[in-house]
Amino acid sequence: VTFFPATLTLPAGGSATFFCNISMENDSGSEYSLNWYKEINHSQPQKIAEISRNKPQTKTEKYLVTNHTPAFKIEILNLHQNDSGSYYCGLITFFEPDKVMESRRSHLVVTAAPEKTNATDEPEVEEGSSTDHIKAVLLGILLLAGAVVLLIFGYLTVTKWEKMMNCPGGFSLQKEEKPPVVSVSTVDYGVLEFQLDQCAQVPSETRPVDQTEYATIVFPEEKPITPERGKKHQD
């Protein structure tokens, strides 16, 4: 009975596979059973699995045994560090009572599960950084576009106001100045009648042929009613 490989070193979480080969000189179809044992620190061996000659496979939660006569394969599943120890197989023949043949010990060492390496983490970091970079670029583009729109809107608004102020009927931001008060003198003409003093008789020979008299008349704010205006007023 042979058992191999002699040594296995595997990380936790994986599986370990051992093979047990048997050879019988006088194999006349007799029944036999193949057992697997685990031994920790040279303590009392512990039976962990078994399979008979005519059984193709045996499976438990922890072990999977497959019959490939004359080779038998045992797989230790979901390794933990407490699975470390020595393993071997034992052949029990029924045509020779109480005859047990054991193989040599093989050693299994289960190491701690490997942590995520930096090489694995770097892509995630780069991916996160790339996503943040894309977001920053998009935000910058949006801010720039908003600033351009505001500038255009402000320019159009200022231009419109300038046009409105320049139009005759437009708005003006300048304070309206009242025109200065200027006193305007008005001149009105009327009929000026001279009353001749009948008592004072002037000799005709002393009176010039053509006599022109001048007068300057200043009317108050309320214009007097001349004969012509009075006539118009009556009409």
Architecture of domain 2-111: Sandwich (2.60)
Please compute the mean of the pLDDT values over residues 184-188 and round it to a whole number: 61
Nearest to 20 by CA among 86, 71, 95: 71
Q: Is the pLDDT score of 9 beyond 70?
A: yes
Q: In whole angstroms, what separates CA 32 from the centre of its chain? A: 69
Nearest to 99 by CA among 25, 6, 18, 19: 25
CB 48 within 8 Å of CB 37: yes
pLDDT in tens, 112-159: 988 766 554 555 545 567 788 898 999 999 999 989 999 998 888 888
pLDDT in tens, 46-58: 999 999 888 999 9
CB 228 within 8 Å of CB 190: yes
Q: Is the pLDDT score of 105 beyond 80?
A: yes
Please give the share of the chain, as a percent, with pLDDT higher than 70: 61
**Cα(171)–Cα(45) distance, integer angstroms:** 108
